[in-house]
Structure 1
Amino acid sequence: MPRHRPVPTRETNRRKKAAPPPQSPAGADRVSRRSSAGTAPRAAYRRAPLASLRVFVAVAEHKSFTRGADALGVTASAASMQVQALEEYLRVPLLRRNGRQVELTPQGALLRPKVEQALADLERAIDEARADRGSGPLRVTTIASFLAQWLLPRLPDFTSHHTGIDVQIHTSTELVDFVKTGMDAAIRFGAGSWPRLHVQKLFDEWLVPVCTPALLQRDGPIAEARDLKRYKLLHSTYEPWTAWLLEGGPDEVWPSSGAAFDDAIAIVRAAQAGQGLALSRWSLVADEVAMGRLAMAGRAVRSAHAYHFVCPPAHLALEKVAAFRAWLAAACARFPPPLRA
């Protein structure tokens, strides 16, 4: 029986090595190594725990697992597990639990601004990459009271001049995530501090005491606290009478007695029905005063908050957003302040 010739050791070793591609250039190995190194960051991005990073930023911002979890719509236990997983992933402690309060460790304080910036850049990139954002309806979010009392009566003027733009209005008292909800723009009521967004002030807000003209004629104007005793007061949790008396009191207060509402439109309707004297935002009653359904009973007090047009900077280039912003700015410029301001 023929015996097979043993293969030399040198040839065996060559066979174990992967043969280079045919006609490979001299520097192919170096290029291959560079390409492999160049793909490493992409793999790192795929491994980055984005969900845990978002939870970490939210908990750090609110200094509470419960409030941070509420902001993201998850449970506090889920948020705690996400942060714990991130700490294990990074092998450094990020948050220090101090009773109900949560504090950043030195490592967490160093990481937080970098993560916030990176997440903002990522959201902006995703938002800008949506090719269909320029088409479709214009989606605007605002608070319900402003929509009902100020925006809605004026909106036909915009739609009549921009027949090709369908307007969809969303109402919420919460700050809306533009990327997650697909909103194009917002009209927000506040101090105007919303980082990484385009913010344009529209007009100042005023707090004004209003009642029916008949009630004003019977009980007379008001100038100080003792004058309020002549009226049955209607209370609002958002615009308490202390804000008028002290020219800027607490943000939200339930009164100890008397009719009270936690709905800004409801208190306007109660005043229109002659049920008493109400303190309301000027934007909600200006049209009622102009039509004679309500009358100002005293001085107007400037609110600490104002109305602002808000959107991601990339949305300013969208034609439908630009058209709405220009129309809104012009409409707000024509809106007069209260006469007794």
Structure 2
Amino acid sequence: MPTDWRSLPPLTALRAFAATAELRSFSQAARVLNVTHAAVAQQVRALEDHLARPLVHREGRGVGLTADGEKLAEALGEGFAAMIRGVEALRAGEADRPVRVTLTASFAAQWLMPRLKGFWDRHPDIGLSLHPDARVMDLRRERMDLAIRYGNGDWPGVEATWLAPARLVIAGAPALTGERDLTIEDLRRMDWVLSPNWPEQDSYLRSLGLDPATLSRTDIDSDDLAIAAARQGLGLVVESLALVEADVAEGRLRLVHERAETLPAYFIVNLPGQQRAAARAFLGWLKSQV
């Protein structure tokens, strides 16, 4: 049976009466509700007018309840207790849910995953829910705690913290590049693993005097696969520095050239305001990786 919401008195009046009935005092009810004594008394009188019957009466310095008031107080006590249990259960579930993070698949695979053991060594009880997606999500609507985004860090309505460099670099397996510095002529003769239809990559190569159309190239439209191919010595790759940092540090790839720009970069993005403890812990750990 649907609830007849129009028949209910205002919730503020019911709450004021329930607090007064529990504490037997307008003044004490006002303190717990963080309103004035007069406001509580006015709400209770309004409830009595709505129901057309008295609910309270003066009793020394406090108040007593009429027979109707006792019945209503008992029903409201049960109802508000059920509401409180429901809200507390929801809050507990929200506190325990994994930290939800949206980021690109490539950044997750190449930058985050190699570092995650360090986070779980510190916080083994915190779960993560990673959502690899190239789209820019609405954090509030999608209920995301954090995002890792590529750009200039100037998005409206969110807080952005610099995380990792995204400037383009050229890298290759040491077996392919050798140890010496490579000239433009060396680069022109070498094999490449490139992304098709990526203007920023092509502009970078042209700035070095290389024509992307004339290079000996294998086109792979996936950062992860292109980096994997470069590790195998199949060609030089153009990538964001953050995506090959681990490979360079561990000797699987060698940097041949890198741009000097500081932006765009990868940023940690979150909504302003208080965050859950688990989300704060993950955010703090991410910042420690800078």
Q: Report the TM-score range of the alignment, normalised by the length of the smaller protein.
A: 0.5 to 0.7
Q: Is the 8 A contact 1:244 1:301 kept in 2?
A: no
SS at match of 1:163: coil
Out of 248, 254, 264, the position equivalent to 1:289 is 248
Residue 222 (structure 1) aligns with: 182
Matched, 1:186 2:147: yes
AA partner of residue 285 (structure 2): W
The alpha carbon displacement at 1:138 in A equals: 0.8
Q: Is the 8 A contact 1:211 1:271 kept in 2?
A: yes
The alpha carbon displacement at 1:246 in A equals: 2.4
Out of 301, 313, 317, the position equivalent to 2:275 is 317
TM-score (norm 2): 0.61
Alpha-carbon separation, structure 2, partners of 1:255 and 1:262: 16
Alpha-carbon separation, structure 1, partners of 2:181 and 2:137: 41
The alpha carbon displacement at 1:186 in A equals: 0.7
Residue 154 (structure 1) aligns with: 115
Residue 78 (structure 2) aligns with: none
Q: 1:236 to 1:222 in 2, by over 3 A?
A: farther
Alpha-carbon separation, structure 2, partners of 1:208 and 1:320: 35
Out of 257, 261, 267, the position equivalent to 1:302 is 261
Q: 1:242 to 1:228 in 2, by over 3 A?
A: farther
Structural RMSD (CA): 2.7
The alpha carbon displacement at 1:256 in A equals: 7.3
Out of 256, 260, 275, the position equivalent to 2:219 is 260
Q: Is the 8 A contact 1:235 1:241 kept in 2?
A: no
The alpha carbon displacement at 1:300 in A equals: 4.0
Structure 1 residues 194-205: aligned runs within 5 Å: 194-205=155-166
Matched, 1:331 2:267: no
Structure 1 residues 42-191: aligned runs within 5 Å: 131=91, 133-191=94-152
The alpha carbon displacement at 1:241 in A equals: 4.0
Tell which has more relative contact order, 1 or 2 (C-alpha 8 A, sep 6+): 2
The alpha carbon displacement at 1:242 in A equals: 2.5
SS at match of 2:147: strand
Alpha-carbon separation, structure 1, partners of 2:168 and 2:260: 5
Q: Is the 8 A contact 2:167 2:258 kept in 1?
A: no
TM-score (norm 1): 0.52
Aligned length: 196
The alpha carbon displacement at 1:268 in A equals: 0.7
Residue 213 (structure 1) aligns with: 174
AA partner of residue 178 (structure 1): L
AA partner of residue 142 (structure 2): T
AA partner of residue 278 (structure 2): K
Alpha-carbon separation, structure 1, partners of 2:202 and 2:193: 9
Alpha-carbon separation, structure 1, partners of 2:285 and 2:174: 33
The alpha carbon displacement at 1:206 in A equals: 2.4
SS at match of 2:234: coil
SS at match of 1:327: helix
Alpha-carbon separation, structure 2, partners of 1:142 and 1:182: 14
Q: 1:282 to 1:206 in 2, by over 3 A?
A: same
Question: What's the CA shift string for 1:299-323, capped at 9, x where partnerless?
Answer: 4443641111111113x43211211
The alpha carbon displacement at 1:255 in A equals: 5.0
AA partner of residue 165 (structure 1): I
Alpha-carbon separation, structure 2, partners of 1:146 and 1:298: 21
Q: Is the 8 A contact 2:165 2:242 kept in 1?
A: no
Alpha-carbon separation, structure 1, partners of 2:207 and 2:135: 27
SS at match of 1:178: coil
Give aligned-pair identity as a percent.
31
SS at match of 1:298: strand
